Amino acid sequence: MTQTRAVFYVSDGTGITTETLGHTLLTQFPNTKFVSERIPFVDSEQRAREVVEEIKKVGAEHETRPIVVNTCMDPAIGEILASSGALMLDIIEPFMKPLEDELQQPRERRVGAAHSIVDFDKYHQRINAMNFALTYDDGQQINYDDADVILVAVSRAGKTPTCVYLALHYGIRAANYPLTEEDLEHDRIPDRLRKYRDKLFALTIDPVRLSQIRQERRPDSRYADIKTCRSEVAAAEAMFRAERIPTLSTTHKSIEELASKVLSTLNINREMF
């Protein structure tokens, strides 16, 4: 019998940190079915008491003890939440004392500071990077001098989501170079990219998967045909090998994994937002 457990991600900010970590913890228990709810902006005792009622109600419905993943900075709120009877996983509190001792200073309780605009310049950089990724999404009219990274791949191999992720989370100016049929006739990278060798990262993909993705876009086209996909991918991979461009397949990789690999391969150490 599979248990169903209600999980509440309770935060005084956006709840993003809470859910990210909570989700990581729960992946270790794949045999339990979790039904989760995000409860952000819990920044008063009054609000905390309302949340307790919600937790009790949902717990009673599932007939199991709920789990609360809590990142509220105020311990008084944590105590109120605990009165719900849920299993409390307090994420922030256990790490504060070791940090206070090590840094020899008391913590400052900055509520919701993780995902608010703390540093305006950094935030602006991020939004600019995002606009950069979207504006030059088609690889046309772009000045690659301004790019931190240039992703090279055939059409629909996963360049755009990866570029947007890099921009949104790392403030990286990530540009796209979609390989054209003409490019693929040669096993050398296009001349236009030659002077940017150090910024290049190649993506590839399983041709069957590529064909599925292209089908959704242009059904029954030559573009989506498995033969076209096979020959484009083979030509692209031959080019990447000949030029020794770092290459990753997007077939079984998430955007996060791709972004993380691009940064570590190109040796870019940029703080996450």
Using CA atoms, how far apart are residues 80 and 101, in angstroms rounded to an integer?
Answer: 27
Q: Residues 31, 140, 141, 143: which binds a copy of itself (CB under 8 A)?
A: 31
Q: Is 13 in the site for a copy of itself (CB under 8 A)?
A: yes
Q: Is 65 in the site for a copy of itself (CB under 8 A)?
A: yes
Strand pairing of 149-153 and 200-204? Answer: parallel
- Minimum Å gap between C-beta 188 and a copy of itself is 31
CB environment 106-137: b (16+ within 10 A), e (fewer): eeeeeebeeeeeeeeeeeebbeebbebbeebb
Q: Is 234 in the site for a copy of itself (CB under 8 A)?
A: no
Q: Is 226 in the site for a copy of itself (CB under 8 A)?
A: no
Q: Residues 74, 115, 237, 243: which binds a copy of itself (CB under 8 A)?
A: 115
- Minimum Å gap between C-beta 199 and a copy of itself is 19
- Minimum Å gap between C-beta 44 and a copy of itself is 15
Q: Residues 1, 2, 24, 121: which binds a copy of itself (CB under 8 A)?
A: 24
What's the burial of 217, exposed, middle or buried (CB within 10 Å: 0-12/13-18/19+)? exposed
Other Cβ atoms closer than 10 A to 201: 23
Which of helix, strand or coil describes residue 146? helix
Which CB, 60 or 117, lies closer to a copy of itself?
117
Q: Residues 58, 114, 245, 266: which binds a copy of itself (CB under 8 A)?
A: 114
DSSP assigned state of 188: S
Using CA atoms, how far apart are residues 240 and 163, in angstroms rounded to an integer?
Answer: 19
Contact map string, positions 74 to 93, toward a copy of itself, x by CB under 8 A: -------------x-x-xx-
Q: Is 21 in the site for a copy of itself (CB under 8 A)?
A: yes
Which CB, 127 or 242, lies closer to a copy of itself?
127
Q: Is 113 in the site for a copy of itself (CB under 8 A)?
A: yes
Which of helix, strand or coil describes residue 10? strand
